[in-house]
Amino acid sequence: MTLYHNPVLLTDSIEGLVTQQNGIYVDVTFGGGGHSVKILEKLNDEGRLLAFDQDADSTNNIIEDTRFQFIPHNFRHLKKFLQYYQAYPVNGILADLGVSSHQFDTPQRGFSYRFEGSLDMRMNKNKGMSAQDIINSYSEERLSNLLFKYGELINARRIAAQIVKARNVKEITTTTQLVNSLIPLLPQGKENKPLSQIFQALRIEVNQEMEVLEEFLSQTLDALKPGGRLVVISYHSLEDRLVKNFMKAGNFTGIVNKDFFGNPLTPFKLITRKAIIPSEEEITLNPRARSAKLRIAERNEFQIVK
C-alpha cells in the first residue's frame, strides 16, 4: 500500500479513538489509509475495522488484513453499511474531514488553484455536478450565496458577477481559466487566501459536504455503543462549528436540552474541552495541518429523545 496522504494529528486521534483492543472501529475517511493502519496496530485478533471512502483512487490503498473491511461509499450511509456488515453498534468512529494531499496534488481532479486542470472537484468522479457545471450554470445570485456561505467571502457578489461576466465570453472549464477570470478582483501579492476560499466554497457545494456531515453526525448517536468514541478532525470553521455543537448538545444549534429538574441531557461526554491543534513541529513537516482541529467525545449511556 502506498500512503498518499500525511495523516494529521495521528497520535492524538488514534489514542483518543481506540479504547478496546477487541473493539469494532470505523474510519469514515480512509483515503491513503494512514489512520486505518494505526488503528489496526492497536487492535488484537478479535478487533475489527471498517473503512469508508467514495473516491475510487483510495481503492489502491486497501489494507490486506482479515480484520479490515473496505466500503467504497460515502459515509453519509454509515448506519446502513454497518448494519449490513453486522458491525453495529461500534466502539469508535473517526472522521478526518476535508481533502487529501493526493486529491489536492492531482491536477485533473481540480481541487487546487495551483495546478492547471479540469474544474471537477468531485470526491466521487462518477456522481453529481462538477465545479464546472456549477460555475457555468448557477445564476449570479446563487453563485454569490454559495461563495458567501461556504467561502465566507465578504465580496461574494463582486466575485459572482465577475465569474458570470467571464463565462458569458467563454465557458469556464479549467482551474486556470477560473483563476484568470478573477485576477481583476484579487489583491496583488495576497491572492492565495481568496482563491482558497473560492475553491473551498465550490468544493463544499459540489460534494454537499455540510449536508453529508450533518447526516453522518446524526447517525453516530445510534451507531456508537455507550462509552464509544467519536473523533473528528475538521479544517475550517463551518465544519468545526457543526462538530463542536453536536458533541456539546447532540444537535447543530449547540443548545443543550434539560430534564424536568434542569439537568443537562447531553449525548456525549467531552473528552476534549477545547480542540486539539497540531504542534508547530507537525505544521512545519506538514503545512496542510495548520488549520486542523481535533475534537473527541464519548457516547453517554442514555438516549436522547428525538
Domain positions in the chain: 10-101+209-299, 114-207
Q: Please report which confidence band the pLDDT of residue 9 belongs to, taking 50, 70 and 90 as the band edges.
A: very high
Over the chain, what is the mean pLDDT? Answer: 92
Q: Report which residue type is found at 11.
A: T
pTM: 0.92
Handedness of CA 20, 299, 243, 84 (dihedral sign): positive
Q: Which fold has domain 10-101+209-299?
A: Rossmann fold (3.40.50)
| Distance (Å) of CA 183 to CA 135, 167, 235 | 16, 14, 26
Q: Tell me whether strands 293-299 and 268-270 are parallel, antiparallel or unpaired.
A: antiparallel
Superfamily, domain 114-207: Putative methyltransferase TM0872, insert domain (1.10.150.170)
Query: Quick one: pLDDT at residue 1?
Result: 38
Q: What is the pLDDT of residue 2?
A: 41
Distances in Å between the alpha carbon of 23 and those of 13, 47, 48, 78, 229?
16, 5, 6, 17, 11
